[in-house]
Amino acid sequence: MSDQVQSKLLKRMSTIKHKILVLSGKGGVGKSTVSTQLAFSLALSRKDIRVGILDVDICGPSIPKMLGIDKNEVFTCTEGWVPVKVKLSGDDDDNRLCCMSIGFLLQSEDDAVVWRGPKKHSMIQQFLEDTYWGDLDALIIDTPPGTSDEHITLAEILKESKPDGAIIVTTPQGVSLADVRKEINFCNKLGIPVLGVVENMSGFACPCCNEITNIFSSGGGRKLAEQFNIDFLGQIPIDPQLASCEDEGKNFLQSFPESASAKELENITNKI
Ligand code: ADP
């Protein structure tokens, strides 16, 4: 990376107080869900907080849909690409949660799937270089599943601006936990602090009484955290209301604030 690019990136990142990566060993475990809901939860935690969510999941950018902004376009100003704003209900200031997704820049959903490593690398670099966030208290970065070239690119680009760390998302089953071990080793190798593990799809939350039923095993994430001596941040149950809100692009936390999963997301937010 040239000195000019590096200094541009550092300048971009210097207006962001905290940068948190969200990782998972494989797809479908709820990484984008955790990224999205944590960004909402942080933005809702205080009126004076501004939060950004960056979707770098090149091959499956799902965050705009979850936020209900997938039909929006990204505009440019003299400073670069302007992230899309997400309105929080009851909030006069509509600039407290915003999102930039690689999905906004792709011609079609199949575009990036056929790209080779160098093209993905330059796309991610340009993406970070050209997005104009302004002042942010926190930026949540949703990464692709696994530990691919894209992660190495991201880690290299963010190295100088020092990310706060990574949250690793897993499901309770053993297969998923084996993948998490790789993520932890990957973070250790690249010098990214692990902020903790979130166990998602941990039991089923009944929408009527909020009772949690453990359909599969539970507690694997906690055991893993103990084994690696890292923090266990919490366990989010399977919640049909959460799934349908994300499908319809609705704000889950403000729609179902009393649900078990909303409460757990609030607890997790308080720990990070
Ligand atoms: P990933 O980013 O790991 O591929 P997603 O966050 O896209 O996974 O989740 C995959 C699907 O599962 C989505 O439809 C999402 O709404 C749903 N989902 C994720 N976590 C939960 C949960 N705790 N309860 C209900 N549905 C969930």
Output 123 or 200, whichever has higher pLDDT: 200
Average confidence (pLDDT) over 158-176:
83
Q: Which helix (H) or strand (E) holds 243?
A: helix 240-248
| Contact between 161 and 133 (Cβ < 8 Å) | no
Residue nearest to atom 4 of ligand 1 (CA): 28
Residue nearest to atom 13 of ligand 1 (CA): 243
Nearest atom in ligand 1 to 66's CA:
16
pTM value > 0.95: no
Average confidence (pLDDT) over 155-168:
86
- In whole angstroms, what is the distance from residue 143 CA to residue 34 CA? 12
| Ligand 1 mean position, distance from CA 66 (Å) | 10
Q: Is 5 exposed, middle or buried (0-12, 13-18, 19+ CB in 10 A)?
A: middle
pLDDT band for position 146 (cuts 50, 70, 90): confident
Tokens of 135: 């002042």
Q: Which domain holds residue 203?
A: 3-271
pLDDT band for position 25 (cuts 50, 70, 90): confident
The number of distinct structural domains making up the chain is 1
**Is 247 a residue whose pLDDT tops 90?**
yes
Which of 3-17, 67-81, 84-98, 141-155 is modeled with the greatest confidence? 67-81
Per DSSP, the three-state class of 71 is coil
Outline where 91-148 has alpha helix (H).
117-130
Instruction: For residue 231, give the CATH number of its domain.
Output: 3.40.50.300
CB of 218 closer than 6 angstroms to any ligand 1 atom: no
* Helix, strand and coil in the chain, % to nearest 5: 40, 25, 35
Distances (CA, A) of 191 to 125, 160, 169, 195: 20, 12, 19, 12
CA atoms within 13 A on the CB side of 23: 31
CB of 19 closer than 6 angstroms to any ligand 1 atom: no
pLDDT band for position 154 (cuts 50, 70, 90): confident
CB of 29 closer than 6 angstroms to any ligand 1 atom: yes
Nearest atom in ligand 1 to 62's CA:
7
Tokens of 74: 């990204």
Counting every residue, how long is the chain?
A: 272
CB of 201 closer than 6 angstroms to any ligand 1 atom: yes
The pLDDT value given to residue 141: 94
CB of 24 closer than 6 angstroms to any ligand 1 atom: yes
pLDDT band for position 110 (cuts 50, 70, 90): low
Report CA 127 to chain centroid distance, whole Å: 16
- In whole angstroms, what is the distance from residue 179 CA to residue 100 CA? 27
Lowest mean per-residue pLDDT among 26-35, 102-111, 160-169: 102-111
Q: Which residues pair with 141 in a beta bridge?
A: 21, 54
Instruction: Using a pLDDT cut of 90, give the percent of the chain over it.
Output: 43
Residue of 41, 167, 246, 256 to mutate, ligand 1, most atoms within 8 A of C-beta: 246
The pLDDT value given to residue 126: 84
Average confidence (pLDDT) over 126-143:
92
- In whole angstroms, what is the distance from residue 194 CA to residue 176 CA? 17
Q: Which residues pair with 75 in a beta bridge?
A: 82
